[in-house]
């Protein structure tokens, strides 16, 4: 019998990068711009390094077990029922927080598209409702429709990103990149952390690579570096074009919950920038919404022990999407706050503290081992734990 070949390394790299890149990009330059481009590089590299580290820890833990695994099973095996419970709660609230952010941002995006393309005036509230119902139906239809539509949308996301960068780079003013406000440097940490969130796909990647943990490590490192490069270029373009203060500046955008593409469009005002900015925001929000909405629906189906493909399982789409819609309608400017909660609290527990705790218990108490071992020993784990606490503190300071 022919032995199955491990999955493509390039496919693994793109899976990691695709899991990271999404609607968080719309917030990233605004929150990093509060401290300035060069100070924000410190927290950008810190977040990338930390999330890569915890991703590698999950590769190690995945190597302890055979067969299909996920974060819940890994947490339960290493930490018992307490670990499973903490993972479950963090998972639910993380995805609810992300969906609140996406629905909140969708209102102004869809209102703008409606006006520009169809000359129909639509309020931000109407835009959020229309967005949630339209793409909620696609989530309800299941994995296959989401997969096919998401592929098309990803092409649009890449094309509009390249268009925005290609046009925006000619408008960069180097003096705008010199703004410095060290006191705001921690504000960006929670959003940066969630922008590098890929850990939930590591167990699936291990299966895709047929248990070849060295190849999984290369995919994680390659995908993380690709994401870092894309974020760096995006930040240079936005922060080199959008001033810190003034109408539609970084500070005003942050205070009003407006994302980066809107600021670019308002500052430059050209028809090409408007087209690329609106397209990029649309594709980023929709791809993220579809992925997270489907993930949360399947997670709830698993929690209630209902087949996700059954009518009852698909009706859980309402439970997944209705609460975020209500929250976004009550507080439309919640985009940054929701991402802050997602990254600064729940992602830190799920993608930070839990992997560190699992490796500590598995290595040093249960004496487990696999053919991949993350370097650094106990000092690295302690360092990661301290960084997790720092991000959580930054989240509460930003409330």
User: Could you read off the pLDDT tens digit of each residue along the chain, which spans 399 residues?
Assistant: 444 556 788 888 888 888 888 888 888 999 999 999 999 999 999 999 999 999 999 999 988 887 667 788 888 888 999 999 999 999 899 999 999 999 988 888 888 888 777 777 888 899 999 999 999 999 999 888 888 898 888 899 999 999 988 888 989 999 999 999 998 888 889 989 999 988 888 888 888 888 889 999 999 999 999 999 999 999 999 999 999 998 889 999 998 888 888 888 888 877 778 788 888 889 989 988 988 898 888 888 877 878 877 888 888 899 999 999 999 999 888 888 888 898 889 999 999 999 999 999 999 999 888 888 999 999 999 999 999 999 998 888 765
Find the helix packing angle between 354-364 and 377-397, rounded to 10°.
160
H or E stretch covering 354: helix 354-364
Is domain 9-397 in CATH 1.20.1740.10, yes or no? yes
Q: Are 148 and 6 in contact (CB under 8 A)?
A: no
Q: How far is CA 16 from CA 109, 151, 357, 373, in A?
A: 27, 15, 23, 20
Q: Tokens at residue 118, please?
A: 């169809």
pTM: 0.87
* Overall residue count recorded for the chain in this entry: 399
Residue 338, class by beta-carbon neighbours within 10 Å (0-12 exposed, 13-18 middle, 19+ buried)? buried
In this prediction, residue 29 carries a pLDDT of: 92
Q: Give the up-direction half-sphere exposure of residue 348: CA atoms within 13 A in the CB hemisphere.
A: 25
Per the CB < 8 A criterion, the answer to whether 19 and 202 are in contact is no
Which helix (H) or strand (E) covers residue 105, if one does?
helix 71-118
Domain residue extents for the chain: 9-397
Using CA atoms, how far apart are residues 296 and 290, in angstroms rounded to an integer? 10
């Amino acid at each position: 019998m022919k032995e199955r070949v491990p999955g493509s390394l390039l496919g693994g790299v793109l899976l990691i990068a695709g899991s990271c890149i999404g609607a968080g990009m719309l917030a990233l330059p605004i929150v990093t711009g509060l401290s300035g481009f060069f100070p924000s590089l410190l927290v950008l590299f810190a977040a990338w390094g930390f999330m890569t580290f915890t991703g590698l820890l999950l590769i190690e833990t995945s190597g302890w077990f055979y067969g299909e695994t996920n974060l819940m099973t890994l947490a339960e095996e290493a930490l018992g029922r307490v670990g499973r419970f903490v993972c479950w709660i963090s998972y639910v609230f993380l995805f609810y927080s992300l969906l609140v952010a996406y629905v909140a941002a969708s209102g102004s995006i869809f209102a703008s598209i409606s006006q520009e393309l169809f000359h129909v005036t639509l309020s931000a509230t109407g835009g959020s409702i229309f967005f949630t119902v339209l793409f909620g139906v696609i989530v309800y239809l299941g994995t296959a429709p989401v997969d096919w539509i998401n592929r098309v949308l990803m092409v649009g996301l890449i094309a509009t990103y390249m268009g925005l960068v290609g046009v925006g780079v000619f408008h960069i003013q180097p003096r705008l990149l010199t703004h410095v406000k060290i006191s705001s440097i921690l504000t960006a940490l929670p959003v940066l952390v969630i922008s590098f969130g890929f850990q939930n796909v590591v167990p699936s990647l291990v299966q895709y690579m047929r248990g070849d943990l060295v190849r999984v490590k290369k995919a994680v490192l390659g995908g993380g570096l690709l994401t870092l490069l894309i974020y760096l270029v995006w930040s240079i373009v936005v922060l080199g074009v959008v001033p810190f203060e003034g109408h539609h500046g970084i500070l005003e955008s942050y205070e009003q919950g407006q994302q980066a593409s809107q600021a670019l469009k308002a500052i430059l005002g050209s028809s090409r920038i408007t087209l690329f900015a609106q397209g990029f925001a649309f594709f980023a929000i929709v791809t993220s919404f579809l992925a997270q909405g489907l993930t949360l629906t399947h997670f709830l189906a698993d929690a209630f022990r209902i087949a996700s493909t059954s009518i009852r399982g698909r009706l859980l789409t309402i439970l997944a999407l209705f609460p975020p819609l209500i929250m976004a309608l009550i507080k439309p400017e919640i985009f940054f706050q929701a991402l802050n909660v997602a990254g600064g609290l729940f992602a830190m527990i799920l993608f930070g503290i839990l992997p560190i705790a699992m490796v500590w218990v598995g290595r040093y108490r249960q004496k487990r081992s696999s053919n991949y071992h993350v370097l650094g020993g106990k000092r690295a784990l302690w360092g990661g734990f301290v960084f997790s606490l720092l991000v959580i503190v930054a989240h509460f300071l930003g409330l």
